Amino acid sequence: MEYFTNNNLIPANLYYNLVDDSIYSMEPLCGLQNHFNPGLAETSPPILLRHSPNKGKDIGGKMVLLDAYLALKKYSDYGLFVHDKKSPYKTGNETWASNLLKISTNAFGQQAMAIFEQQPGVGIVTAVGNVRNEQDHRSGLFTSSNRTLLPALLDHYAINPSSYQYVAGTMFWFRMKPLQDFFGIHAPLLIRSTLEQGNVTDEVTGSNTHCWERLLSWIITSQHYSIKAI
């Protein structure tokens, strides 16, 4: 919650999911508003709270919130995905998290909005260093441990991105419409039911959860939008 105080962006609508079976969240969900700058109390955004078990890690949490967004019909033009990125088993995890989270600052947010308005072909904006390509440039094949799961998912959901670039870490600004259209057809909670329970990793074998890390970017890029890293 500290990300939304001081110089960080205050969202128009904040959809906030808490993992309710984590030892770190075993306290009542109250006083969340107090985490915002008291001086901005009158202008602090409506907070739509949800709590859910750890299924599909941050992707599962995003599915719960997308489900709520669609059900409440408070549609917006743009969105921002942010979560408390940890990945403690990766070296350089703090640097990675820091690079991802800086997209929630006021300055970055304003840049992202300006890009969306001036460049209609851009669908995703994130920080430099966070964009990866799932496809090996020499062989043209998928290279990660998710290489066996991805083709089936792409086929099942009819997602055909022009390139296989994606935002690693799943934190980015995005145009809402492509996701709104996709999840209007494919219910987020149905997708969530396919995700793995608990803190799954893809260090050895692939997982649906990590596939969806890619697919969330590809849903947007398959609708003729590009990713811009700034």
Q: Which is nearer to other proteins, 163 or 193 (CB)?
A: 193
Q: Report in angstroms how near the CB of residue 80 gets to other proteins at its nearest.
A: 20
Question: Does 42 sit near other proteins (CB under 8 A)?
Answer: no
- Give the integer Cα–Cα distance in Å for 144 and 40: 44
Question: Does 185 sit near other proteins (CB under 8 A)?
Answer: no
* Beta strand spans in 72-164 (E): 78-80, 122-126, 131-133
Question: Does 50 sit near other proteins (CB under 8 A)?
Answer: yes
What angle do the packed helices 176-185 and 57-72 form, to 10 degrees?
90
Task: Identify the CA nearest to 134 among candidates 121, 123, 150.
Answer: 150
Q: Report in angstroms how near the CB of residue 40 gets to other proteins at its nearest.
A: 21
Question: Does 89 sit near other proteins (CB under 8 A)?
Answer: yes
Question: Does 58 sit near other proteins (CB under 8 A)?
Answer: no
Question: Does 133 sit near other proteins (CB under 8 A)?
Answer: no
Total residues belonging to the chain: 230
Chain Cα centroid distance, residue 3: 15
Question: Does 64 sit near other proteins (CB under 8 A)?
Answer: yes
**Quick check: 48 and 72 in contact, CB under 8 A?**
yes
Question: Does 113 sit near other proteins (CB under 8 A)?
Answer: no
- The stretch near other proteins (CB under 8 A) out of 6-14, 172-180, 193-201, 205-213 is 193-201
Task: Identify the CA nearest to 124 among candidates 161, 69, 72.
Answer: 161
Chain Cα centroid distance, residue 146: 18
Question: Does 208 sit near other proteins (CB under 8 A)?
Answer: no
With CB under 8 A as the contact rule, the residue among 8, 44, 54, 223 that binds other proteins is 54
What tokens were used for 226? 């590009």
Q: Report in angstroms how near the CB of residue 44 gets to other proteins at its nearest.
A: 16
DSSP category for residue 2: G
**226 has which bridge partners?**
122
Question: Does 98 sit near other proteins (CB under 8 A)?
Answer: no
Question: Does 51 sit near other proteins (CB under 8 A)?
Answer: yes
Contact map string, positions 6 to 25, toward other proteins, x by CB under 8 A: -----------xx--xxx--
- Give the integer Cα–Cα distance in Å for 77 and 180: 10
Interaction site with other proteins (CB under 8 A): 17-18, 21-23, 26, 29, 48-55, 60, 64, 67-68, 71-73, 88-89, 187, 189-190, 192-193, 197-199, 201, 203
